[in-house]
Amino acid sequence: MISKSISKLQKNKSKEKYVLLLEDAYSKANERELNQIDLLKRSGTPANFLQIYEAYKKLDMRQARVKPLLPLYAKKEGREAIFSMRNYNQDIVHYRNQASDFLYTKAMFLLKDGDKFDAREAFALLMKVDRIFPGFRDLNEQLDRANAVGSNNILVRVKNGSSYPISPTVIYELEHLNVEQFDQLWADFHYKEEPGVAYDYMVVLQVDFAEAGPEQIREELIKRTNEIQIGTVSQNDIDGQVSTDTSSRSVEVPILKTVYAEVLHTTLHKEASIAGQIDFLDVRSERLMASYPIETRTVFDYEFASWKGDKRALESADKQLAKNNPIPFPSDHQMLIDAAVEIKSDIKSVIRSNDELVMD
């Protein structure tokens, strides 16, 4: 009701109905907040400092919204509406400091033993401090510390279990996932094992099949024929006379010639495939938590054509293919590199869809 009344009065301060509604709602909300503050103070519990601070902030923000409208009048009652105003700055600063000190001290206690879950609780407490007092002590440093202690370290590895010899370049391409993109609160991904880092989980791409080729060449010899006009001749009637039209002009008929050509249509085809599975492993318990199949295939297709004979016999598709120059097949290595690039998007999707497995 307070928000609605303020909105109405901002447009027209003479709406007495909303003046009285705002006066009543404002008084009741303030009374509720002040009673809550009184109860919290009487308990003497430091854990209540944050609630007291937030209650004072509500009081201050509420009167800040109403103040620009004042004075407001209840004309039918012949009086000015009553809105109590006071300066809460000292109370806000005092309880902000008290609450920040309490939360910070509790967070430091939780960080003392290096337990992951305690560190996560400490991080939550420090974030509350950051919300109410961003510049408090060494807050940013302690947030980084809590994040580091509370996070799981996940190593992403690639293992070649296929009989096909995969080059180190292809393995590198598979490993180089830009794993930092998976980083989130409580999960730090690494694609290379770092000394001194204790890993909690591993995400392993087990390559069971990797192969390129064979190279396939398909040639098709196509014979083309086409009737073309090479000129015209006057048409004779049955009496041997030249035929004429209604304007006495001779009727011309086309002279046709059949032309021939041979088109050699060549198609190059080659494939590369990588298949395997992604395993999520708990390093601490040496337990396989989940496994997901993964596979990709890249295809090289190229067409070109050559011809001999009369060019006029060719179709438009023949002429277009004849513009393509013959090219060599890509190497097995390059095809597998391309397949590795393709499969990385699938690996990313599997990791993102199952990141909860490495969060505990």
pLDDT digits (tens, 9 = 90+) for 82-140: 999 999 999 999 999 999 999 999 999 999 998 999 999 999 999 999 999 999 999 99
Is residue 243 scored above 60 in pLDDT? no
Q: What's the rounded mean pLDDT across residues 134-156?
A: 93
Helix 2-11 / helix 16-43 crossing angle, nearest 10 deg? 140
Asked if 316 and 211 sit in the same domain, the reply is yes
Share of the chain above pLDDT 90, in %: 66
Domain with 200 in it: what CATH number?
A: 3.30.160
Asked if 130 and 175 sit in the same domain, the reply is no
Closest CA to 360 of 183, 168, 57, 117: 117
Asked if 114 and 159 sit in the same domain, the reply is no
Asked if 323 and 241 sit in the same domain, the reply is yes
What is the four-CA torsion angle of 112, 117, 119, 123, rounded to 10 degrees?
Answer: -150
Distance between CA atoms of residues 357 and 186, nearest Å: 12
When divided into structural domains, the chain yields a total of 2
Report DSSP letters for 181-234, one per residue: GG-BTTEEEESS--TTPPPSEEEEEEEEEEEE---EEEEEEEEEEEEEEEEEEE
Examine the fold and report which residue of 120, 149, 178 is the final residue of a domain before the chain moves on. Answer: 149
Predicted local confidence at residue 238, as pLDDT: 46
Report DSSP letters for 49-71, one per residue: HHHHHHHHHHHHHHHHHHGGG-S
Query: Is the model's pTM score more than 0.85?
Result: no
Q: What domain range includes position 58?
A: 2-149
Q: What are phi and psi of 242, to 5 degrees?
A: -70, 130
Predicted local confidence at residue 82, as pLDDT: 93
Asked if 224 and 336 sit in the same domain, the reply is yes
Asked if 245 and 269 sit in the same domain, the reply is yes
- Number of helices followed by number of strands (H, E) in the chain: 9, 8
